[in-house]
Chain A
Amino acid sequence: MTNRPLWLGVVASLGLLLAACVTINIYFPAAEAEKAADKIIDEVWHLKGGEAGATPQSTPAPKPN
């Protein structure tokens, strides 16, 4: 009875664990995506910057435009 199959199994498991660790940390940044979308929509629809015809903004954020 040789220990080689056990050794290979351990190495394979370690490799799988490593790969899993890389993928686990990648997830969709929903809050940041919302922030980016808001920025773009504000530009496209002239919502910030003093154009008429925009819905009143609830949070007057002091953005350096």
Chain B
Amino acid sequence: MRAHMFVIRPPVNLWTSAWLAVWFLVAAPPVGAQANLDINTPAIIGLTSSMQQRYGQLAPLYTSGAVGLTRDGFVALRDANAIPLAQRASANALIAAENQDRAALYREIARANGHPEWEPEIRSTFAARWIDKAQAGWWYQDAGGAWKRK
């Protein structure tokens, strides 16, 4: 083992510079580029359809303030008094079914895209978007958990 064998001299010449330029400008960037998330699996389509159908019954509950959007991507009973007594049981069933679909949706999107560990982030992404797209007058939870009206 001679000393000169351990001397590291970077061979920075024209070809190396060119290769590095190609790498950083052409080859490497696509690694960071984000491909569209797949939301076309049968399970996701089925859940979206189920939630879309349930929306017909949920919309008046959103409007009346009986049901609000939680800060973690779900729906919750906010004001039971806004629901006639006779309809409270079915409203609670609606809420439970919606939350079940939502939980399954977030899980399925993560799974379908090869990253089950993404479920919490997908859930919080949805939480923010549900609230952003909520109609004026609907209720939602702010970051601290307090109910606010849009």
Contact = CB atoms under 8 A, between A and B. Distances in A.
Interface residues of A, number: 25
A55 B48 contact: no
Nearest to B129: A37
Nearest to A45: B55
Given A29-B37, A44-B52, A38 B129 contact: yes
Interface of B: 31-32, 34-37, 39, 44, 48, 51-52, 55, 59, 105, 109, 115, 118, 121-122, 125-126, 129-130, 133, 135-136
A3 to B, nearest CB: 8
Contact of A33 (B44, B48, B121, B133): B121
Main SS of chain A's interface residues? Answer: helix
A25 interface: yes
A39 B55 contact: no
Q: Which of A31, A37, A46 has the most chain B CB within a 10 Å cutoff? A: A37
B130 A32 contact: no
A39 B135 contact: no
Interface of A: 25-26, 28-47, 53-55
In the complex, which of the residues A35, A41, A44 has the most CB atoms of chain B within 10 Å of its own CB atom?
A44
B52 A43 contact: yes
Nearest to B1: A3
Contact of A35 (B32, B36, B136): B36
A34 B135 contact: no
Contact of A55 (B31, B51, B118, B135): B135
B133 A45 contact: yes
A32 B39 contact: no
A62 B39 CA distance: 20
A32 B110 CA distance: 12
Nearest to A47: B133
A43 B37 CA distance: 16
Contacts of A26: 115
